Amino acid sequence: MSSTLKNLSSYDHSKVPDASEMIFGIVVSEWNLEITNSLLEGAIRTLKLHGAKDKNIEIKWVPGSFELSLGGQFFVEYRDVDAVICLGCVIQGETRHFDFICQGISYGITDLNLNNNIPFIFGVLTTDNQQQAIDRSGGKHGNKGDEAAITAIKMAALQREMEE
Ligand code: DLZ
């Protein structure tokens, strides 16, 4: 979640490694589609800005954010990727569903990170309302998709560096 001090799209471009030889999977949720489409646009734009090629970015849709973890797992099982970006948006409703979904995703993505030797990025907005989600998907607080893409590039580069 962004704060008033941090814009999700602000970062030091000179500190971002070259992504031209990296392969990315993106799993994106159909729930809150307008928001997740904006997250996806931000992520793709940012990956390409740092050299990623279209042919090396594969996008798969899942029904809701709860399914992001399994969608991410499929990328490890069936593809050869350097990083997987998980994009979703969970907005607080009247019931405790929000808590269960958020907990499921954060545990799920943490498990993926620790049990597979590639980074899985938590590009999920968890907001109190629609306006907060709009503000963080290309609005006044930037775009969580940009932040997720930068994180994916940096973590994939870190892994390569340590592998050498
Ligand atoms: C069911 C549900 C609800 C109430 N809210 C959201 C949401 O705000 N964001 C989201 O990505 N998904 C939501 N879902 C769907 C769940 O993530 C999941 O797809 C279903 O519970 C089926 O497993």
What is the residue with the minimal CA distance to atom 11 of ligand 1? 65
Sign of dihedral through CA atoms 95, 98, 103, 109?
A: positive
Looking at residue 1, what is its pLDDT?
47
- Whether 91 lines ligand 1, by a CB cut-off of 6 Å, is yes
Count of domains observed in the chain: 1
Looking at residue 131, what is its pLDDT?
97
Residues with Cβ within 8 Å of 86's Cβ and at least 6 positions away in sequence, in order, are 27, 28, 68, 69, 71, 72, 105, 109, 120, 121, 122, 123, 124, 148
Ligand 1, residue 66: give the atom nearest the CA.
17
Looking at residue 40, what is its pLDDT?
98
Q: What CATH number is given to the structural domain containing 85?
A: 3.40.50.960
For residue range 9-50, list pLDDT tens digits in order: 999 999 999 999 999 999 999 999 999 999 999 999 999 999
**Residue 7 domain flag:** no
Taking the C-alpha atoms of residue 93 and residue 88, their distance in angstroms, rounded to an integer, is 16
Looking at residue 4, what is its pLDDT?
56
For residue range 108-164, list pLDDT tens digits in order: 999 999 999 999 999 999 999 999 999 999 999 999 999 999 999 999 999 999 998
**Residue 54 domain flag:** yes
**Residue 43 domain flag:** yes
How many A from CA of 41 to the centre of ligand 1? 21
**Residue 15 domain flag:** no
How many A from CA of 100 to the centre of ligand 1? 10
**Residue 1 domain flag:** no
**Residue 16 domain flag:** no
Annotated active-site residue 13? The verdict is no
Looking at residue 95, what is its pLDDT?
84
pTM above threshold 0.75:
yes
- Whether 95 lines ligand 1, by a CB cut-off of 6 Å, is no
Question: 101 is in which domain, residue-wise?
Answer: 29-163
**Residue 11 domain flag:** no
Query: Mean pLDDT in the chain?
Result: 95
- Whether 142 lines ligand 1, by a CB cut-off of 6 Å, is no
Looking at residue 5, what is its pLDDT?
58
For residue range 47-96, list pLDDT tens digits in order: 999 999 999 999 999 999 999 999 999 999 999 999 999 999 999 988 88
What is the residue with the minimal CA distance to atom 21 of ligand 1? 66
**Residue 21 domain flag:** no
